[in-house]
Structure 1
Amino acid sequence: MKTYYKDFLIRDWQPGDRNPAAETISTVLAEYSIIFEPRGADIDVLEIETYYQETGGEFWVIEQEGKVVGTSGYYPVKRGEKSVEIRKMYLLPDVRGNGLGRYLLKELENAIANRGFQEIWIETASVLKEAVNLYERSGYQPTTGIETKRCDRIYIKKI
């Protein structure tokens, strides 16, 4: 994956992105008073190869002027029918509000559909208001079955 949105480069994760991606996610979580959990809910960010690449998923970083300013990814899950879960879709505060999140979600959906998946699941927290609004405006439907302790919302979209 390699694409551009305005002056942002969206590309496949590389091993050198491990710390910058984790730092980006940790920064966004702290903004919402959510603790980064390297041995819990966020272990997948430190083990991209195991959680994403080896399972048939993808993990992307978003760069602006050579700096990682966002992340996103998905991997197959056992719930549902030919399902994936979108994970770690985070953008630093200074790059929000210009359509990047909407573009990124659409690119994820296209990549997921092109791989033959039929359902997308997303877990999130109500405090992440921008994310909740984006998912709801993009056709994601509330459902049940939350698996991540810090999340209180779960959505599904059939594609």
Structure 2
Amino acid sequence: MEYIIRAITAEDDLTVKSIIHAVGAEFGAIGEGFGPSDDEVYAMSSHYKTEYQSQYFVAELNGKVIGGSGIASFHHSNETCELKKLFILPDARGLGVGKGLTKACLNFAKEQGFRECYLDTLSNMESAIALYKKMGFVQLEQPHIDSTHNGCDIWMLKQL
């Protein structure tokens, strides 16, 4: 099965919101302190734009969006970016989609001149954590001081 990765469009917003909410609920990421509750989830394409040093990518298989992930400046930093909202539908896992999306995000981050990439996630997202470690992320002892997702219990950083 071949999937493609491309930048999000406004036509993808509703599907991406649905994926983020469904997968977030699957892993208990419900309510304040979790990414699926962020306001941006309702219109991802308008929040992630190159001119903001950010981009949200979607993975598409047979014309259907099956997941996505974003990269954005971490609290307006020129040095640190954040890998955000990597969510993939259950039936699309195991195809390398997460790795492809993460690579697209990190490549974009490097092109934008970021020096490091932060992320936060949940300890029950074991496959995601394993992927992040394979991609060179190192687990931190505590969240970044500016982290807003206080429901997360895993924090990681990668030097770019």
Q: Same fold (TM over 0.5)?
A: yes
The equivalent residue for 1:23 is 18
Could you tell me whether the CA contact under 8 Å between 2:121 and 2:155 is conserved in 1?
yes
The TM-score, its normalising length taken from structure 1, stands at: 0.85
The reply to whether residue 103 of structure 1 matches residue 104 of structure 2 is: no
The equivalent residue for 1:84 is 81
Whole-angstrom distance in 2 between the partners of 1:15 and 1:7: 23
After TM superposition, give the deviation of residue 158 of structure 1 in Å.
Answer: 0.7
Q: State the number of aligned residues.
A: 154
After TM superposition, give the deviation of residue 51 of structure 1 in Å.
Answer: 3.3
Could you tell me whether the CA contact under 8 Å between 1:41 and 1:148 is conserved in 2?
no
Deviates more, 1:96-105 or 1:83-92: 96-105
Per the alignment, do residues 41 and 149 of structure 1 end up closer, same or farther by CA in structure 2, a change over 3 Å counting? farther
After superposition, the C-alpha distances for 1:71-110 in whole angstroms (9 at most, x for unaligned) are 1111101487611101011111111112221222122211
Whole-angstrom distance in 2 between the partners of 1:103 and 1:133: 14
The equivalent residue for 1:147 is 148
- Give unmatched runs, 5+ long, in structure 1: 1-5
**Counterpart code for 2:85:** K
The reply to whether residue 43 of structure 1 matches residue 44 of structure 2 is: no
Structure 1's consecutive aligned runs of 4 or more residues displaced over 3 angstroms after TM superposition are: 36-41, 78-81
1:68 pairs, out of 65, 71, 93, with 65
Could you tell me whether the CA contact under 8 Å between 1:76 and 1:85 is conserved in 2?
yes
Deviates more, 1:73-82 or 1:36-45: 36-45
Whole-angstrom distance in 2 between the partners of 1:39 and 1:92: 16
Per the alignment, do residues 56 and 81 of structure 1 end up closer, same or farther by CA in structure 2, a change over 3 Å counting? closer
The equivalent residue for 1:3 is none
The TM-score, its normalising length taken from structure 2, stands at: 0.84
Whole-angstrom distance in 2 between the partners of 1:81 and 1:57: 12
- Give unmatched runs, 5+ long, in structure 2: none
**Counterpart code for 1:77:** F
Could you tell me whether the CA contact under 8 Å between 2:70 and 2:105 is conserved in 1?
yes
